[in-house]
Chain A
């Protein structure tokens, strides 16, 4: 089993209280980076790092900018937010197993927000796409309640 674990970065929770992040549309630039299996990503991850990040044709270090067309919303006692478009790499080749992506804030010292995992994959001269859950109070990618 990989050492990468799906989790909100603990540091992000503190930074919420410090008003560090702005996930509103037109706010901070958020990015998604891909990581190999056993890169030890999880709640203790504090920021983007090139250690463990994938490399290969079609992949640029630091990953892709995440489209943010919908500002965080509130429903009852739950605040929530989801990227407004899929994250996609084309003409990509990553030959070793990777199983995680890190959502991080490129406008704020590359501070980590969350680690999301999936079954290990390789990609060969193809397209890699991450689709988000629906943006709602019980389904959004990121929830605060």
Chain B
């Protein structure tokens, strides 16, 4: 399987693949880093929104 990178399309088997996971209050992020001979040649990022933003709260009487 070939992967598009800064060096053109490269067979995935030739690349070192690292997955990085990060958290914040609002999101969980997964990044996939693809290295060729130690050089980063591709980085994909997926941001998973975890919670809403709320416009406001009303007070019922």
Contacts and interface: CB of A to CB of B under 8 A. Distances in A.
Interface size class of A (residues with CB under 8 A): 35 or more
Chief secondary structure at chain A's binding surface: strand
Contacts of A142: 52-53, 55
B55 A130 contact: no
Contact of A13 (B4, B29, B51, B56): B56
A7 to B, nearest CB: 7
B12 interface: no
Q: Which of B41, B42, B44, B56 has the most CB of A within 10 A?
A: B44
A125 B41 CA distance: 7
Interface string A1-32: 00000111000110010000000000000000
A114 B53 CA distance: 8
Chief secondary structure at chain B's binding surface: strand
Contacts of A16: 55
B23 to A, nearest CB: 7
Interface in A95-145: 114, 116-119, 121-133, 138-145
A129 B29 contact: no
15 contacts: A13-B55, A16-B55, A77-B58, A93-B6, A116-B26, A118-B27, A121-B31, A123-B44, A126-B32, A129-B45, A131-B46, A142-B53, A143-B55, A145-B57, A145-B58
CB-based closest 4 A-B pairs:
A126-B44, A118-B27, A124-B43, A119-B22
Interface of B: 4-6, 22-27, 29, 31-32, 40-58, 60
